[in-house]
Structure 1
């Protein structure tokens, strides 16, 4: 059996990793991926794919990526379900990342580490 996914898209919000009780980092992100064709109105539709990233990859994604960052994710599709507070069964399908690549030309620095931009003097 094969269960392999490759996505390239943009993060829909700033990533925020959290820690499990065992101390492992985990990050849940949504990646916006444009479809390869246009709809009847001539526009490109976008799919929003939930992804889960673990351990050092989660820490690095939080550190170097922001909303709008382009990422490439390879992983596998995983489904789970749980019962909500109203007793309704909720099903979740997500991509569990095996690897992530930061595809922006230059990774974003942490907000605290970003150097202040100096004014640029134009020649005219």
Structure 2
């Protein structure tokens, strides 16, 4: 029997993806604190990679965010690949069959607001930290490939 049940918090915002056959998936990491800690030391946490598919992925991507407390029920999966250097690489992931949020909607929404504040910059900080005019000029070499849709003006 291959059954895994984890309770923990999302380490970061889940990664939303869609396969070539239009199936939604979500890759995320759950932080789980171990039951045992040596005397006079802090508890140890494990960062466990997970993947969810279809409706579970939609739920995670739509309603959960960094820090959300959740229950993941699924199975342990491993794969072995050969990298570009010919080395065997082992990969491990929990394939989630069931996801359950362990927080109320209000707590989740409050966390989402706080996570957005964490990454926003106030107008005053923006004025202080604005780059010099020399750095804002377009670069002569525009051959950089823009893979992620973000503009990097340095």
> How high is the TM-score relative to the length of structure 1?
0.81
Measure how far apart 1:31 and its partner are.
Answer: 0.5
Measure how far apart 1:58 and its partner are.
Answer: 0.4
Match in the other structure for 2:98: 99
Q: Tell me if structure 2 keeps the 8 A contact 1:52–1:94.
A: yes
Structure 1: give runs of 5+ residues left out of the alignment.
112-124
Q: Tell me if structure 1 keeps the 8 A contact 2:56–2:97.
A: no
Distance in 2, matches of 1:82 and 1:108, equals 40
Distance in 2, matches of 1:39 and 1:65, equals 32
- Report SS of the residue matched to 1:50: strand
Judged with a 3 Å threshold, the aligned counterparts in structure 2 of structure 1 residues 108 and 64 are, in CA distance, closer, same or farther, namely: farther
The ranges of structure 1 where at least 4 consecutive aligned residues each deviate by more than 2 angstroms after the TM superposition are none
> How high is the TM-score relative to the length of structure 2?
0.66
Which one has a bigger Cα radius of gyration?
2
**1:1-124 counterparts in 2 under 5 A?**
2-106=1-105, 107-108=108-109
- Report SS of the residue matched to 1:99: strand
CA RMSD in angstroms comes to: 1.6
How many residues align? The count is 109
